[in-house]
Structure 1
Amino acid sequence: MGLFGRRDRRDRGAEEFEDLEYPEHGYDEEDAGPYDEAEAPDDGVSRLDLGSVRVPVPDGAQLQVEMDPTGPVRAVHVVTPHGQFTVNAYAAPRSGGLWEEVCGELAAQLRGDGAAVHSESGDWGQELAASLGTVSLRFVGIDGPRWMLRGVVAGTPDAARYSAAALREMLRNTVVVRGEAPMPVRTPLPLELPDAIAEHIAQVQGEGEPG
């Protein structure tokens, strides 16, 4: 099942977005994710298993994998015509509240980089919207049981409203696999690539090495 489903003609913008397909599910506070692995629903949604997160990927999207020089996967970006989406999970205290701390630090960092930043209220509380040059950014964070999920979408300013809605829907359908191992707060939960993707990357890297 793709992330984007039936079309909704409410609040349409410019003509270039007339073909944008909206998410299938409306927000239901009592029955909405993101989900902890222990409460993952059997809902038929197709999710990309990245180890610590299982993320729904829109039909036709492309994946870009960012690797650390030492080998581990740093991030997996989902690239669509409406923006680049990135979802990561982090170890968090049982008491929650990590996103509020991170949000303030992130805003200060963005302003230090020259971005215009403002805070908005979203489905899970505070969100950050930022503009840096010709790029619009939206950050959404959610506190879960011993984890924090953070999503960001980068795109063009004229698509900002639509890409923000798509980011919320992606997070709403994400499953977080925290595991039982103790971890320092803020530690990124490790990402793992599916075998087919890992093999493809290894093959491409091997072809690029000098013979």
Structure 2
Amino acid sequence: MKLVKRDILNIDECLKLNNIKYIDVRYELIDHLVSEYEAMEIYQHLDSFLSERMAWCKEIARKKQKSIPRRLQKMVGKMFFTVLKKPKTWLCVVLVGAIFYVLSGQQFSRGTMRYILLSPLLACVLVQLYYMASLGFKSNWTNKFLALNYLVNLFALPHFFLWGIAGWLPKELLNNYYFMVPYILIGTLVNYAAILVFLKRRMGIWEEYRFIKDYMVYN
């Protein structure tokens, strides 16, 4: 028996009520539950079916949610090295380095030069804040595609790497532009990699669970 949109929404609501919060985990479970229910030879009431399978769903969700931070670390790290291999990345690095070299010859204060140095990183931070605000807080389902805590985990990791290490560095290094320029550059690329991971993951969910478009997207 093929489930209709209302049935899919009921399954989703049931999972949410049972504190299965990560959307990609929830819709992976929906995909499995729908396939399992529609393949049954003797159909039972959907509520009874969900009640019987909820313990299994919670266990699977617990394992997947526990693995999310580590999975994000691997994804960001892999994406960072992918970005490093792209010729466009090095072209941008050379361009930014040339601009900074020219500006360093101008009579700017040390504080102004620091802001200039941090500007690419701040641009990444603003993009991350935009995604967190637009996709984490709005009520429409399509704007809450990824849970806010998922985004926090994803975008906080690069900043922990950047600022966490900085707290242990001696002031002599922090005031040395020959050290800080590559250090901020690496931090910027790691944050850029986190944004790419988010965009790739969001698109991946759509591709993996195309039935969502048929049943769950509000027009």
Q: TM-score band, normalised by the shorter chain? A: under 0.3
User: Which is richer in strand?
Assistant: 1
Tell me: higher relative CO, structure 1 or 2? Use CA pairs within 8 A at least 6 residues apart: 2
Who wins on radius of gyration, i.e. which is larger?
2
User: Which is richer in helix?
Assistant: 2
TM-score (norm 1): 0.21
TM-score (norm 2): 0.20
